[in-house]
Amino acid sequence: MESKNKKKKDFFETFASKVAHATGSTPAFLVAFAIVVTWGICGPVFNYSETWQLVINTGTTIITFLMVFLIQKSQNKDSLAMQLKLNELLASSKLASNRLVDIEDLTEEEMLIINRYYSKLNELAKKERALHESHSLDEAKEGHQYKIRPNKLKKSKRPVTKKPQNPKNT
């Protein structure tokens, strides 16, 4: 029974992929265009009746309704494949941040936070003189920690020094 369900699933995936690919082709567009032109030419023959209008409305509604599901199925598969490829690239790179693997599972708010980090990295990259200088999210975090740490150390271990007085003010 399990292999029967797998065959049905494989059949639908294959069918959805082929239909989505075929309907996005030039011949499919030309066929659809020919149908619309033929329908338009038939208007005077049918005195532009309600039935004549209903034919095109019903046909396009049914086709659109079914195509939405087929295209979405195909898009879901393509999107998953793209995510897996990107995850592989991130996982295989020593310098890439692993926090971005499966980022699509984060909330939009969490993604916006990461987007702000990338904006900061963009600012850092613009300040660099070398075009090929690279920064990562981990470097940004290390830089942030580095900036925080000295301030804490400065506040707690700062020697008290008096400012030199301006001779003009005395």
Q: What is the pLDDT of residue 23?
A: 92
Whole-angstrom Cα distance, residue 90 to residue 104?
Answer: 14
Residue 150: pLDDT band by 50, 70, 90 thresholds?
A: low
DSSP alpha helices (H): ranges in 43-160? 50-92, 108-127, 137-157
Q: What torsion, rounded to 10 degrees, do the Cα atoms 31, 36, 39, 41 define? A: -100
- For the ranges 20-29, 32-41, 80-89, which has the lowest average pLDDT? 80-89
Q: What is the pTM of this model?
A: 0.56
- The pLDDT-based confidence of 55 (bands split at 50, 70, 90) is very high
Least reliable range by pLDDT among 2-11, 102-111, 119-128:
2-11
- Whether the predicted pLDDT of 25 surpasses 90: yes
**DSSP letter, residue 103:** G
